[in-house]
Amino acid sequence: NSIIGIIGGGQLGRMSAMAAAKLGFRTHILTQEADGPAAQVSHGITIGAYDDFDALNNFVQSVDVVTFEFENISADALDFLSKHRPVRPSGQILRISQDRIAEKTFLTNAGIPVAPWCSVTDLPSLQNAAETLGFPFILKTTREGYDGKGQCRIYSADDFDNALSTLSPHPLVAEGMVNFTCELSVMVVRGTDGTIRCFDPAQNHHVNGILDLTLAPAPVTAEVAHKAQALAAQIAEQLDLTGITGVEMFLDHKANLLVNEIAPRPHNSGHWTMDACPADQFDMHIRAVTGMPLPPARRHSDAVMKNLVGPDDMALWPQIIAAPALLPHLYGKAEARPGRKMGHVNILFPYGSLPGEFGVQDALGPLADITATRHSA
């Protein structure tokens, strides 16, 4: 009967709160949005900024365990919360995932392969990075980037000045461009007893830096799928994780897996589990943070997840809701601004029958045309 505190008021908090309710828990949200996606479905709410210690104190006193759906919480706030209640995943994990350099350092020390990278603070270090990595490469802010925001592709030295002035604050991280054959992610969850469960790897397709489609399972060999899950499990173990984490990876032309980034929370690329698995990523996360046993991360169907982004996708809502094969999930956001994730749909296929990309396009029904246009642009 305990109360789960969730920091952040967006769709990941909303779906976590819905999973918590299903398991008999109440949720209390810390958010700045009184009527945001998570607040709409939670039992209690503290309104305040994530660095407002009065708000943090009210919030933490109202709950039994703290988790988050949002990663940019200050180290001081995490320390404060940890003094009062268990924070799951831990503040230490959040500090690693908040900072791309800390993240890559952790992964490398844990024996996990990552793309070649250099830290960049100024023009000379950017020139050094170009020599080490070769063109093209990607320059990213170390903190607070999401949906491809806070990164630039560098094709030649002509791009240096513009990139350094666009991306701030520094330090930045320069990453070798991985010529991947498949971008995949694994959702891994670890319970308080150390049990680890990995969902099947899924393939992600981004458009303009925003996740558009996820295909589960990823079209990779059983060997690659096992390797991806083993890497995710190794990360969970080394982090001493409690809760769920999304592990994004690239599969390169030599069948090597490189980890791109980790997100210690439910993840957009795990939304397919909501309809294709008896216990989805949110159920697993709530079970883990409340110390409950973890059932197997079983997938009973193949699935495609299509994000509903901005006004263009939402204009198709009447057709989407009328299409019987599309399983809709809306986030309760009032305004469909461009690039804003408004919801997603899942489409199920019998286990082992996920069609190739052509068949997937077909199955998208009213979303087929807009998706095809976007992916060919």
Q: Which residues bind ligand ATP (CB under 6 A)?
A: 115, 138, 145-149, 175, 177-178, 183, 206, 209, 248, 260-261
- 296 binding partner (options Mg ion, ligand ATP, none; Cβ < 5 to 8 Å by kind): none
The separation between CA 241 and the C-alpha centre of its own chain, rounded to angstroms, equals: 16
Q: How far is the CB of 14 from ligand ATP (least distance, A)?
A: 18
Query: Does 50 count as an annotated binding residue?
Result: no
Binders of Mg ion in range 223-282 (CB under 5 A): 248, 261
- Residue written as tokens 């976590």? 16
At 375, the amino acid letter reads H
Q: How far is the CB of 175 from ligand ATP (least distance, A)?
A: 4
Integer CA distances (angstroms), 276 to 116, 199, 270, 299, 359, in order: 35, 11, 10, 6, 18
- 148 binding partner (options ligand ATP, Mg ion, none; Cβ < 5 to 8 Å by kind): ligand ATP
Query: Does 226 count as an annotated binding residue?
Result: no
Q: How far is the CB of 177 from ligand ATP (least distance, A)?
A: 5
Task: Look at residue 116 and give its three-state secondary structure.
Answer: coil
Please report which residue ranges of 33-187 form alpha helices under DSSP H: 53-61, 75-84, 91-97, 100-109, 123-133, 160-166
Q: Give me 60's structure tokens.
A: 């933490």
Query: Does 177 count as an annotated binding residue?
Result: yes
Task: Look at residue 117 and give its three-state secondary structure.
Answer: strand
Q: Give me 180's structure tokens.
A: 């991947």
Query: Does 178 count as an annotated binding residue?
Result: yes
- 302 binding partner (options Mg ion, ligand ATP, none; Cβ < 5 to 8 Å by kind): none
Query: Does 60 count as an annotated binding residue?
Result: no
Question: Following DSSP, what letter does each residue of 200-266 receive, concatenated?
Answer: PPEEEEEETTEEEEEEES-SS-HHHHHHHHHHHHHHHHHHT--EEEEEEEEEETTS-EEEEEEESS-
Q: How far is the CB of 197 from ligand ATP (least distance, A)?
A: 22
C-alpha span between 260 and 115 (Å, rounded)? 7
Q: Pick the closer one to ligand ATP by CB: 100 or 287.
A: 100
Q: How far is the CB of 220 from ligand ATP (least distance, A)?
A: 16
C-alpha span between 191 and 240 (Å, rounded)? 10
- 237 binding partner (options Mg ion, ligand ATP, none; Cβ < 5 to 8 Å by kind): none
Longest dimension (CA), the chain: 60
Question: Following DSSP, what letter does each residue of 277-303 receive, concatenated?
Answer: SSS-HHHHHHHHHTT---------EEE
Query: Does 183 count as an annotated binding residue?
Result: yes
Q: Pick the closer one to Mg ion by CB: 175 or 248.
A: 248
Q: Pick the closer one to ligand ATP by CB: 65 or 182.
A: 182
**Minimal CB distance residue for ligand ATP:** 178
Q: Give me 275's structure tokens.
A: 């309809």
Q: How far is the CB of 144 from ligand ATP (least distance, A)?
A: 9
C-alpha span between 327 and 367 (Å, rounded)? 13
Q: Pick the closer one to Mg ion by CB: 71 or 283.
A: 71
Closest of 288, 234, 244 to residue 267, by C-alpha: 244
C-alpha span between 123 and 160 (Å, rounded)? 7
Q: Give me 107's structure tokens.
A: 């992964």
Q: How far is the CB of 155 from ligand ATP (least distance, A)?
A: 13
- 69 binding partner (options ligand ATP, Mg ion, none; Cβ < 5 to 8 Å by kind): none
Query: Does 175 count as an annotated binding residue?
Result: yes
Query: Does 260 count as an annotated binding residue?
Result: yes
Query: Does 149 count as an annotated binding residue?
Result: yes
- Residue written as tokens 């899950």? 229
Query: Does 148 count as an annotated binding residue?
Result: yes
Q: Pick the closer one to ligand ATP by CB: 235 or 279.
A: 235
Q: How far is the CB of 267 from ligand ATP (least distance, A)?
A: 8
Q: Pick the closer one to Mg ion by CB: 185 or 290.
A: 185
Query: Do residues 354 and 220 lie in contact, with contact meaning Cβ atoms separated by under 8 Å?
Result: no
Q: Pick the closer one to ligand ATP by CB: 25 or 68.
A: 68
Show binding-site residues: 100, 140, 145-151, 175-178, 183, 206, 260-261
Residues lying near Mg ion in the complex (CB under 5 A)? 248, 261
Show binding-site residues for ATP: 100, 140, 145-151, 175-178, 183, 206, 260-261
